[in-house]
A and B are shown apart, each in its own frame.
Chain A
Amino acid sequence: DQQVKQNSPSLSVQEGRISILNCDYTNSMFDYFLWYKKYPAEGPTFLISISSIKDKNEDGRFTVFLNKSAKHLSLHIVPSQPGDSAVYFCAASAQTGANNLFFGTGTRLTVIP
Chain B
Amino acid sequence: DADVTQTPRNRITKTGKRIMLECSQTKGHDRMYWYRQDPGLGLRLIYYSFDVKDINKGEISDGYSVSRQAQAKFSLSLESAIPNQTALYFCATSVAGGPETQYFGPGTRLLVL
Interface SS, B side: strand
A45 to B45, alpha carbons, bound, how many Å?
Answer: 17
A101 at the interface (CB under 8 A from B): yes
1/0 per residue, CB under 8 A from B, across A31-42: the answer is 010101000011
Q: How many residues of B contact A (CB 8 A)?
A: 22
Instruction: Name the interface size band of chain A.
Output: 20 to 34
**A25 at the binding interface (Cβ < 8 Å):** no
Residues of A32-90 at the interface with B, using a CB-CB cut-off of 8 Å, are: 32, 34, 36, 41-46, 49, 51, 89
Question: Footprint of B on A, CB under 8 Å?
Answer: 2, 4, 6, 9, 32, 34, 36, 41-46, 49, 51, 89, 93, 95, 98-101, 103-106
Chain B interface residues toward A at CB < 8 A? 4, 35, 40-45, 48, 56, 58, 90, 92, 99-107
